[in-house]
A = this chain, B = another copy of it.
Amino acid sequence: MTRATGSVRRRQLPSTDELRVWREYIETAERLRSRLAARLQAESSLSIGDYQVLLALSEARPRALRSSELAATIGWERSRLSHHLGRMERRDLVRRDECATDNRGAEISLTDTGERAFRAATVPHLRAVREVFVDAFTAPQLDHLAAATGALRSHLAESDS
């Protein structure tokens, strides 16, 4: 799996090995997501999205966030968040109030139900993360994975601009 040292510009397409790494990476990440989602759903009746929203709200000080701030925190489009908040509101997990300083705005906060649901979900979810993800690796592997993930993350961020 070494790279050609010659003219790089000619190598337009991934090699077979590179392609295999790509396929395994994306498939494995997807299975992981799906496994964690299933556990979270079974143990706490929450989706990954629910958990992200509840986590961000529970860490917010004060205990409310503008909808855009929440979207930025968890990296969602505002539209996506709006739809999701509608579903969470129906289940009494969050509340939407008018914003005092901006009449367009919405202040999102946890309901008691939402706070209880998040508290009850946290430990089982973290345990699942350890069992399903962390325990898969040796310590050096986890370090290597962190480095590779960082490189990928930077690469994606660069090509944003």
Residues of A within 8 A of B (CB): 1-3, 11-14, 18-22, 24-33, 35-36, 75, 123, 126-127, 129-139, 141-156, 159
Contact = CB atoms under 8 A, between A and B. Distances in A.
Q: Is the interface of A mostly helix, strand, loop or mixed?
A: helix
A141 to B, nearest CB: 5
Given A129-B19, A134-B22, A156 B14 contact: no
B13 A142 contact: no
Contact of A145 (B3, B31, B148): B148
Given A1-B142, A155-B135, A28 B149 contact: yes
Contact of A148 (B12, B36, B144): B144
B142 A18 contact: yes
Given A35-B156, A133-B25, A156-B32, A13 B127 contact: yes
A149 B25 contact: yes
A21 B145 contact: yes
Contacts of A142: 1, 18, 21, 148
A32 B28 CA distance: 13
B147 A144 contact: yes
B134 A18 contact: yes
